[in-house]
Amino acid sequence: MKTESVKSIEVILKTAGIDETKLLIQQYESDERAGVQSLLDRFKRRIKKEEAELRRLDEMSLFEKGCLSRGEELIAGVDEVGRGPLAGPVVAAAVILPAGWAPRGINDSKKVSEKMRDKLYSQIMDNAISVSVSMISPPEIDRINIYQASKAAMVEAVEGLSVTPHHVLIDAMTIDINIAQTKIIKGDEKSISIAAASIVAKVTRDQYMKKLHEDYPQYGFAKNMGYGTAEHLQGLKEYGPTEEHRKSFAPVQAYSS
């Protein structure tokens, strides 16, 4: 055992699964070399973190498991982003994931770094059974109000799926669809499917706002995503609102002619 280098032991541990790693750690526990013991401690922490993540993902799959137990195999998660900004569309996404599929790190899009969101977005788009995105423009938001626009975007997203889901899990809303649905408060933290929709909607909207920044750099859209930051408000004060601004929102009204 002691003839193995610390580096070779590290390679072996890196390529092992959780259960195999546990057995290997027990196997190498008798190696008293400081480098080996430090290595084992590191992998023990990694296992603890991985097991905690698996428990979290299992808890986030409870609503999906409930649907599957009733024979509802196609489960769509639905969420929207962009209710609060002064500019840009409200965006909703509907996502149907394969049963039991849960990528590591998936969570409410607001709790995930931009780099991780982009990674998860790619994984979701590559693995999902169906993904649908809907945008409601600022003029339409002004016409029907942001709450109704959010609901309309969600309905359009569900209707745009390539297959009809058996059940729809929705973040904090009930929408007008002829499909069984469950409203889940803070659903983007409690449901894998809703979290996936949250990430797709967030990444889609952020990409839109970054593109919009190229046309209107004076508002700082690439950084504030349309929210009312000091830079954005200064831009409104100096240049007034664009067609991408929500004229019915008070801060925009203040700078409208």
Among 58, 68, 62, 64, CA closest to 104: 58
pLDDT, greater one: 40 or 3: 40
Look up residue 165 and give its two tokens.
Answer: 């889901």
My answer on whether 170 and 120 are in the same domain is yes
Split into its structural domains, the chain has a count of 3
My answer on whether 161 and 233 are in the same domain is no
What is the secondary structure of 53-92 as a DSSP string? HHHHHHHTTHHHHHHHHTT---EEEEEEE-SS-SBS-EEE
Is the entire prediction scored with pTM above 0.75? yes
How much is the mean pLDDT over the chain?
95
Tens digit of each residue's pLDDT (9 = 90 or more) over 63-118: 999 999 999 999 999 999 999 999 999 999 999 999 999 999 999 999 999 999 99
My answer on whether 235 and 149 are in the same domain is no
pLDDT for residue 32? 86
My answer on whether 47 and 81 are in the same domain is no
pLDDT for residue 1? 44
Indicate the DSSP class of residue 245.
B
Task: Report whether 50 contacts 191 (CB < 8 A).
Answer: no
My answer on whether 167 and 113 are in the same domain is yes
Look up residue 193 and give its two tokens.
Answer: 């499917």
My answer on whether 16 and 122 are in the same domain is no
My answer on whether 195 and 94 are in the same domain is yes
Look up residue 42 and give its two tokens.
Answer: 């590191």
Q: Which domain holds residue 80?
A: 62-205
Task: Quickly state the pLDDT bin for 257 (edges 50, 70, 90).
Answer: low
My answer on whether 17 and 70 are in the same domain is no
pLDDT for residue 19? 85
Tens digit of each residue's pLDDT (9 = 90 or more) over 210-224: 999 999 999 999 999
1 is a domain residue: no
Tens digit of each residue's pLDDT (9 = 90 or more) over 168-210: 999 999 999 999 999 999 999 999 999 999 999 999 999 999 9
Distance CA(30)–CA(125), nearest Å, equals 46
Average pLDDT of the residues in 42-60 = 92
My answer on whether 84 and 155 are in the same domain is yes
Indicate the DSSP class of residue 243.
T
Q: How many of the other CB atoms lie within 10 Å of CB of 204?
A: 21
Whether 244 has a binding-site annotation, put simply, is no
Whether 79 has a binding-site annotation, put simply, is yes
Ramachandran quadrant class, 67 (left: phi over 0; alpha: psi -120 to 50; beta: rest): alpha
Quote the strand ranges of the chain, DSSP E. Answer: 75-81, 90-96, 130-136, 167-171, 181-184
Element (H, E) at 156: helix 146-159
Look up residue 211 and give its two tokens.
Answer: 């593109």
